[in-house]
Structure 1
């Protein structure tokens, strides 16, 4: 009698969990990527999903090219479009935890655009979209930053120091006094 009760409880529990579905999260706004750099495309769920019924499909919205695919319990780099081969990677150890984020390396001008992460289970599917915007090359970005710098009347500090950051980029308490 106890075994039958236990099985019924497990079946009911599975139905309750599956009937609620899952929430898929992505980026709240556009992502900025530097040419030649790397960008993280976030896609995750709050509660891990069973791997045996899971498929994660990353694509651009303007084409049918696969950026990356997770299917049948494993990453499928052989399914990637040529433009993304050896540049787009899952964090394989994170997938069982519900993190389907993708790292895109060697960012190119052609990578700017809208991407979608679609997560499929036996019961349902969810989708999140995000946009990658190009920030420019390192030199272009340096020129932009130079233009933004603010010089103080004594001719010293640039915007990093005036915002309370050291050259290493660490944040200091706003009440700190420099050079005393």
Structure 2
């Protein structure tokens, strides 16, 4: 029979091993002093930078929509929008690991689509789901990262963060 001083560490170890995976999910926001205050995406470089006070604090290789050139103009064109937007919602239950909703379409996007008689589309997000080493654009217009990268972005980007997406 095990003594009490042997049983307690074993019991504690069993508690840690059996702790549910969702107990620390989603990752918490970093302290305010460490968070990004702007996101900058350069589509032709497949790069996304997180900035704080104008300085890059993190940089990521990204994947875009299947038709990456040009601004998103309508539903189904598989393009990633270009311009100034905002992060409007954080979805911890995304089908693509985690996601941050981008405020596309804005008023100008809706007006240009209306003038052409088309739906501007929507539901553009930054999300996980890209397999490691995958170099092909694959989304329907979103900005995709690997899951571990998305967890880091999630912890650094609060709702309301501006995002600039350049060609």
Whether the TM-score (by the shorter chain) exceeds 0.5 is: no
TM-score by length of 1: 0.24
TM-score by length of 2: 0.25
Looking at both structures, which has the greater relative contact order when contacts are Cα pairs under 8 Å and sequence separation is at least 6? 2
